Structure 1
C-alpha cells in the first residue's frame, strides 16, 4: 500500500459541509452537517471520499480510503 495518500493523512485536508437551518419562526438557526465533504485545495464536494470530482491540478486528486486503494491495487 506504499505510495498512496489517505484522506486521513495529516498532509491532506477535507472539511465537512454544513448548512444553516432556521428553527421555528423566531429567527433562530442552527448549523447541521449536510453529509457532503469539501476538498480544501480545489473546493470540489462529494458524498464519498473515493468519488471526488477534483480539479485536474488538485494535489489531493488521488487521495482515497485504504479500502478503495486496496481494491484498485488488488
Structure 2
C-alpha cells in the first residue's frame, strides 16, 4: 500500500509480533506458551493480549514518533472514524 495513512495491521508490509508466556499460569495468569503480548517490530509499542474485547489492541498502540508503523490502524477503526 502506498498511502501510509491507510495502512492496516493486516497488510503484508506491516510487521508485528506475538510473545508467548514463558512461565506457568500461576506466575502471570497465562499458561506457558499462550500468546501474551502483541508488539510492533519497529518500536517499543506493545499491548497485553486479553480475552476482554474492550482492552487496548493494535489500534491503541503508542508507537514511537519515528516509527514507520505509527499510523497503522485496522480498517474497522478507520470506518468508525468516518461514520
TM class by smaller structure: 0.7 to 0.9
1:41 and 2:50 correspond:
no
Q: 1:31 aligns with which of 7, 30, 33?
A: 33
Q: Which has the higher helix share?
A: 2
Which 4+ stretches in 1 moved above 6 angstroms? none
Over the aligned positions, Cα root-mean-square deviation in angstroms equals 2.3
Q: 1:53 aligns with which of 62, 65, 71?
A: 62
Q: 5+ unaligned residues in a row in structure 1: which ranges?
A: 24-29
Q: Which has the higher strand share?
A: 1
What is the TM-score normalised by the length of structure 2?
Answer: 0.68
Q: 5+ unaligned residues in a row in structure 2: which ranges?
A: 26-31, 49-56
Asked which structure has the greater CA Rg, the reply is 1
What is the TM-score normalised by the length of structure 1?
Answer: 0.76
How many equivalent residue pairs?
67
